Amino acid sequence: MFSNAVKTLLAIALVEGANGFAFVPSTSVRHAAPKTKSSLQMGIGLYFSTSTGNTETCAGYIAAAAGGLEMEDIGDAENDAVTGADALIVGAPTWNTDAESERSGTTWDDWLYNTLPDLDLTGKKVAVFGCGDQESYSDYYCDAAGELYDLFEAKGCKMFGMTSPEGYNHQSSKAERDGKFVGVMFDEDNQYDESEGRATAWIAQLKEEGFM
């Protein structure tokens, strides 16, 4: 049996229904929380290649700073995943120092010259990072990052995340443009204690630039 209070409410509901008002029990009303896109929802692809594991370590710092991005070796990447991402973060080490092309000595070398030319990345947001050794290769520090930057830019991508070389000990680098690095550079051999902080600061910068 309904209580008198419930009967009264039902009676009011019926009258309102007859006059064009719908009765909705209060327990069915839900207010959706505002939706905001996380880094994962935005579809940011984080791609790297590595020989010793250092670049993968730095990619991990970037992934964590961005809120949990998935990272993948570029040699395992599906073309549709690359072209379908809203933005790309790409990074490589340097092994073929001072070379004009194929500077990373990793799977990037094949991908950049045999896969990238066939992809449509016009207008895609791209940010570059590199990993190198400033003490042993001071004149060629992170050269491969410069190659990534040039080739993605040539495909019509919008490049983000240039940083200051202040605090580094290198002499020269093909990853510099007009006194700035083309992205964030790491040195796990000599400045490993700076890597996590550099990744965190860079992600904050990318957010300010509207990359993510």
- The string of pLDDT tens digits covering residues 161-211 is 999 999 999 999 999 999 999 999 999 999 999 999 999 999 999 999 999
Cα gap 126→138, rounded to integer Å:
26
Q: Please give the C-alpha separations between residue 170 and each of 97, 151, 174, 176, 188, in angstroms, as whole numbers.
A: 13, 23, 11, 11, 14
Q: What was the pLDDT predicted at 28? A: 34
Domain count, the chain: 1
Q: What was the pLDDT predicted at 8? A: 39
CA angle 59, 64, 70 (to 5 degrees): 65
* Mean of per-residue pLDDT scores for the chain: 86
Domain that holds residue 57: 44-208
Whether residue 101 is predicted with pLDDT greater than 70 in this model: the reply is yes
What crossing angle do the helices spanning 143-154 and 107-114 adopt, rounded to 10°? 20
Look at residue 196 and tell me if it is in a domain. yes
Share of the chain above pLDDT 90, in %: 80
**Whole-prediction pTM:** 0.81
Look at residue 202 and tell me if it is in a domain. yes
Cα gap 157→125, rounded to integer Å:
6
Q: What is the pLDDT of residues 43-59, one digit of tens each?
A: 999 999 999 999 999 99
Taking residues 130-141, report their average pLDDT.
Answer: 97
Whether residue 149 is predicted with pLDDT greater than 60 in this model: the reply is yes
Look at residue 28 and tell me if it is in a domain. no
Look at residue 178 and tell me if it is in a domain. yes
Nearest to 111 by CA among 149, 84, 76: 76
Nearest to 79 by CA among 111, 40, 55, 48: 111
Taking residues 10-32, report their average pLDDT.
Answer: 36
For the domain that residue 176 is a member of, what is the CATH number? 3.40.50.360
Look at residue 116 and tell me if it is in a domain. yes
Look at residue 149 and tell me if it is in a domain. yes
